[in-house]
Amino acid sequence: MEHLITVHGVKDVFWISGPEDNEDSVARYKTIVSVMEEHGLTIDPARTFNGYWSYAIVEDKLPDVISKMEKLPDVFVCANDSMALATCIVLEKAGIHVPGDVKVTGYDNLMSGNHFSPALTSVDRGWDERSYQAMDSLIGLINGDPDFGDRVYDSKFDLGESCGCTLGTEGIRIQQEAWKRAFLIPVERTIFDWHLIQLDDAVAHVKSVNDIYLAYKEMWESNHDYEGNDFYVCLDQDFVDSMEEEGICKTAGYSEEIDVIYGMKEGATVPRHNIALEELVPYYDKDSAETSVYIFVPLHMGADTFGYYVCKNNQKMIKDFYLNSLIRHVAYGLERAHQNIRLEKMNKVLAESSVRDELTGLYNRMGYERIVIPYLDELRRSKKKSVIMVTDINKMKEINDKHGHLRGDMAIKTVANVIKSTVPVSWKAVRYGGDEYVIIGDYDDSGDVNDIKNDIIGKSMQVSEDLNMPFKLSVSVGYVIIDPENTLENEEYFRMADEAMYEMKREAHKNDINK
């Protein structure tokens, strides 16, 4: 604020805050008010907007706020960098140049703010210094040194371009490196996404727990570039037992025994085996003089504990933002494996009745009639609320005509994968027609069906962008919630959900979103 006022002559400030009850956001606002008062200035209480720390909320709501302004402020001061970046995007879309027409500042000094154009003016909170000090403290405590107590770390002004200043030599170097990364990241991410698809496919159709080991062995022996040479997928014994017989997963803690379903030591596959929970790391050598860093990440879906993933000396996975995606796909794969093994064990008829669509792995029309509709009938007989959701790919004919049926198949499979990874595991998903899907499940009021609908729409578009598909993949979704007291036939509910979907499709075609 001192810089904005004394260097750039700022007088009129618009404040974009975090949550109203958040101490950090409140403290930052009070500082702004205090510095302005020292210079004989005041902030207009109406010149505020609650962005809840969220890029998405600012991107969605701020355009309406800006459109109603009679006069732009001198600066948008944002309580964090994510909201500042969203503000810059919103302003540019409105034809307002940053910093030429209005200045924007953030807080937290995120790497993305340094790589943005204009580079974001922000506040550095000393995270690097804190991190080094934390590790020094931990090592000291391990060695018996006394606790050094509390430390205070001062924030530091981080000069960028979004306030109207110019970058120094180091800032220009960082930005040039970012431009190079802007080209490389989509390429690297696409290659990594194919690795994730291989990971998903590896365990998509397993029929036994040992099949998981064999599938992982085949896949990771051919490519473990991202995972490194020392890593283990360790499953909780209760989770393993729940796949093979009646049982439930733990929702807190772990079993005393851990099943190492797959692992690599020094680049070679190790046999599937069990360890005691207290061992934590398979093949750990406590007498080794080597110093190593182990990363532990829990494997779970919702509250259900699957186990954990542990890797050795592979911090690059965190720095490159690959670890989170990898773990989610391992967990999704294990969840699907769990479901497949239980279905295989409980109902052999399923494997013999051709109820699955070959392309997507969803139920087909036969599965709809034999499995999904009886499932819906049982929900209604049990007086449980249920939902019918209909999903359809927009402009599928145009995709096939312009890009070929192989690309069309990719679109169909991509949406199916999005549906499988989004809806609750108890729900049943059907490829009802060429590019139409029907999803049926129980609904207990604990979740928002509209959130699931929006996730399917958003993820389909995001996946197509991540995979650099030559077309924009979008879907229309409609649904209806079935009240157990209502006596309408299933067909009528299906018609209502189908009509809701087509209403969205008509709107999508009207807006020509695929162009």
User: Average pLDDT for consecutive 10-residue bins of the chain (515 residues)?
Assistant: 95 96 95 96 94 96 95 97 97 95 94 86 89 90 88 86 84 70 71 90 91 95 93 95 82 92 96 94 90 93 92 86 90 92 70 75 90 92 92 92 92 94 93 92 83 93 90 92 87 91 83 54
Please check whether residues 60 and 130 belong to one and the same domain. yes
pLDDT tens-place string over residues 427-467: 999 999 889 999 999 987 767 899 999 999 999 999 989 88
Question: What pLDDT score does 457 carry?
Answer: 93
Please check whether residues 359 and 435 belong to one and the same domain. yes
Residue 70 lies in a domain: yes
Look at the block and give the residue holding tokens 């010149």: 47
Q: Which domain holds residue 232?
A: 206-346
Does an H or E element contain 79, and which?
Answer: none
Give the end of a domain, one of 167, 197, 219. Answer: 167
Residue 44 lies in a domain: yes
Residue 189 lies in a domain: no
Question: What pLDDT score does 352 carry?
Answer: 46
Please check whether residues 53 and 155 belong to one and the same domain. yes
**Hey, how many other C-beta atoms are within 10 angstroms of the C-beta on 206?**
23
Please check whether residues 134 and 17 belong to one and the same domain. yes
Give the end of a domain, one of 316, 346, 376. Answer: 346
Residue 359 lies in a domain: yes
Give the end of a domain, one of 167, 195, 214. Answer: 167
Please check whether residues 337 and 359 belong to one and the same domain. no
Please check whether residues 21 and 140 belong to one and the same domain. yes
* 250 residue type, one letter: K
Strand partners for 235: 259, 307
Please check whether residues 163 and 80 belong to one and the same domain. yes
Question: What pLDDT score does 515 carry?
Answer: 46
Residue 117 lies in a domain: yes
Question: What pLDDT score does 512 carry?
Answer: 64
Q: How far is CA 423 from CA 420, 454, 455, in A?
A: 6, 11, 9
Question: What pLDDT score does 514 carry?
Answer: 44
Question: What pLDDT score does 280 carry?
Answer: 93
Q: Which two tokens stand for residue 320?
A: 């490159």
Region of 280 please: left (phi>0), alpha (psi -120 to 50) or beta: left
Residue 197 lies in a domain: no
Please check whether residues 242 and 256 belong to one and the same domain. yes
Please check whether residues 35 and 156 belong to one and the same domain. yes
Count of structural domains, the chain: 3
CATH code at position 446 = 3.30.70.270
* 419 residue type, one letter: I
Please check whether residues 502 and 423 belong to one and the same domain. yes
Provide the whole-model pTM: 0.47
Residue 184 lies in a domain: no
Instruction: Identify the CA nearest to 262 among candidates 201, 205, 330.
Output: 330
